[in-house]
Amino acid sequence: MNAGRRVPEAITLKRTIPARRGEVFRAWTDPVELKRWWARPGFTVVDAQVDLRIGGAFRIQTRPDVGNVFSVFGTYREVRPPEHLVYTWAWQGTRMDGIETLVTVDFREAGQGTEIFLTHEGFRTEGDHSAHRDAWIGCFDRLSQAKSSRR
């Protein structure tokens, strides 16, 4: 154990995406759109299911270039299109099975684009925090590329 080392409480990221807020919100919540960008580089979304309502569930199945399929899933706690989402986040098929964290995403208009403010909290280890931060950055990169190529 890392005595004296504190696990960061939350990941906080901000990114501007070159698309209108409604389009970015839809990319975040529509299964077809999620399959285009959601996984970080080196991974592919093989299935996405979304029941976008308070109490509704989502499940995204992902496959690394080499390896087995695993899933992230959760339940929506807050849904305010096109501006705000809060949902639980848990893994199936990874070493993090059984650990639930919380994601909050705000979408704000920024000129011709959309600012995304993401907070992901509840990590138990520094390694899990770091891995998720890197993955979110990779996802944001892919979302930005996907929206840039559609302009």
Q: What spatial distance separates the first Cα and last Cα of the chain, rounded to whole Å?
A: 49
Q: Residues of the chain with pLDDT > 70: what percent? A: 94
> What confidence tens digit (pLDDT) does each residue in 81-99 have?
999 999 999 998 887 788 8
> What confidence tens digit (pLDDT) does each residue in 30-65 have?
999 999 999 888 999 999 999 999 999 999 999 999
pTM above 0.85, yes or no: yes
Helix (H) or strand (E) holding 139: helix 126-149
Residue 151's pLDDT is: 55
Residues 81-109: b if buried by 16+ CB within 10 A, e if exposed: ebeebbbbbbbeeeebeeeebebbbebee
DSSP 8-state assignment for residue 97: B
Pairing of strands 84-92, 101-110: antiparallel
In CATH, which superfamily holds the domain spanning 10-149?
A: START domain (3.30.530.20)
Reported as a pLDDT band with limits 50, 70 and 90, residue 148 is confident
Q: Is the pLDDT of residue 2 over 60?
A: no
The domain locations on the chain are 10-149
Reported as a pLDDT band with limits 50, 70 and 90, residue 1 is very low
Gap between the Cα atoms of 143 and 72, Å rounded: 18
Residue 150's pLDDT is: 64
Reported as a pLDDT band with limits 50, 70 and 90, residue 7 is low
In order of 55, 62, 86, the CA distances from 42 in angstroms are 31, 10, 27
DSSP code per residue over 14-83: EEEESS-HHHHHHHHH-HHHHHHH-SPTTEEEEEEEE--STT-EEEEEEEESSS--EEEEEEEEEEETTT
DSSP β-bridge partners for residue 87: 76, 103
